[in-house]
Amino acid sequence: MDSSHSLPVAVGIPNTNKKTMLILTILIQRPVPAEQSSPAAKRKLDMLESGAANQKEGSTLRRSPRNQSKAKPTRSGSAVKKARLAAKVIEQLTEPPRKATALARIPFKRLTLEQLSVIETPDPATTTSYRCSGIKMCFYQKKSKPQTIGFPNYSPQKCDMKFLEERWSMELYVTLFPVNSRGKMIKKKLPWNVMFAERTKVLYYHDASKLSADTMRGLKKHVEFMETFCQAWWDLLHWITINLERDAVSQRQRLYKLRHRRTDSLIRRYKTHLKKLRKIKDFPETLFQEPGIWPLSQRICNWIWEDSRVVDSDGEPKPLRQQLVELDEREPARTLWATAANEAERTKYVSADLRANRSIPLPQRARNWIVPDRSDNEPEEEEDKADDEMSEIDDEDEDDEEEEDVDEEDVEEEEVEEEEVEEGDTGESDL
């Protein structure tokens, strides 16, 4: 042997425990001359060196039959945690650095009118925060509850919530709802009813004539479920931040009560509804990828109203209904792709395999109805009928029937933790 010993390949020694690793570390840091080592120490060191050499050559140390079980690879709970931690560190080191946009680093009160009108669309992989109509936004991170694929995955930061609340106005809110010549709101033209009326009504990837009768009945019930809860769906996809202090108590309480009742009812029943569909014999799981089968967003999708100080050439702020149209065109997922610009946009989040191998030809698809006998499959001429009026925005009275046992599915907005946001907290909305 040489006059001193060191570990040739420390990581190559099999089945090395903590005590042995400590000994090896000491040997590496302080080589011990061979003549000063005890015979037992020499033998142990020789065995370790030969083990490293054998492993380097592709062989492994032999064990007696009695100790064969020890050679089996095992992973304790702590080992699993260490492996996950190591994977996380590697991921953080390999990911590109994320930072706030230049506009997000400017304090809100220093933003110019031109900057207040900017809607940034940065890459979530490289951006921690950005601004949308002046409000500082952040993306939900991996540690947060995952958003349903395709839906907006961002939220206003808590530091700018007060500026967003200042934009709330009940007078502005009611302008969303068209009225007829008698000043009554037209039910058909309410935004959630328009969203349902303009939904995708045909199957893109499944031939309706080849689906079982039970499956078709299940699809009919799902469309009826969508119609019943279309206003709650719209609420979740166009979440408006309401100022708790600017309205009269009665108005505030009524608006909050109705919105909470709608969205809570949808959230509680949706999961149970899907379970019933999946229990249908031979119900294809791929049906849930059809553009006309509405999914539920796992997070609320905030709608950022524009600052009223930003005006057009006539000196007027942009009407809220125009803001809504532009928002839905920019992010068609908010209308369940009813406002998608083209077929590619509408089917963007369908799996590549389904899109490539199961697409129904356009001539056949035109009559491939999800629910063949629905009266609204074909477009109707718009009429301003007296029976299509509403005196106020309200829910239809629901029967107080016994509800089925359902699993609570928390779809309320969650605050993004500080360590996930890096640029500050998000605001907690009021669902």
pLDDT in tens, 199-255: 999 999 999 999 999 999 999 999 999 999 999 999 999 999 988 776 666 777 788
Work out the average pLDDT over 411-423.
38
Give CA–CA dist 60/64, Å, rounded: 13
Residues facing residue 33 across a β-bridge:
4
CB 134 within 8 A of CB 157: no
Cβ neighbours around 136 below 10 Å, total? 28
Residues facing residue 369 across a β-bridge:
202
In this prediction, residue 404 has a pLDDT band, given cuts at 50, 70 and 90, of: very low
CB 127 within 8 A of CB 157: no
* Overall residue count recorded for the chain in this entry: 431
Quick one: which of 340, 238, 357, 341 has its CA closest to 286? 357
pLDDT of residue 340: 94
pLDDT of residue 152: 94
H/E run at residue 257: helix 249-278
pLDDT of residue 282: 93
In this prediction, residue 8 has a pLDDT band, given cuts at 50, 70 and 90, of: very low
pLDDT of residue 333: 96
DSSP state of 134: T
pLDDT of residue 84: 79
- Residue 414 pLDDT exceeds 60: no
Give CA–CA dist 392/394, Å, rounded: 6
In Å, what is the CA distance from 401 to each residue of 103, 268, 294?
52, 15, 25
CB 306 within 8 A of CB 111: no
- What single-letter amino acid sits at 110? R
Helix, strand, coil shares of the chain as percentages rounded to 5?
45, 5, 50
In Å, what is the CA distance from 343 to each residue of 338, 355, 414?
11, 11, 33
Q: What is the pTM of this model?
A: 0.71
Give the distance from CA 176 to its chain's centroid: 27
- Residue 276 pLDDT exceeds 70: yes
In Å, what is the CA distance from 233 to each residue of 251, 265, 281?
22, 11, 28
pLDDT of residue 314: 87
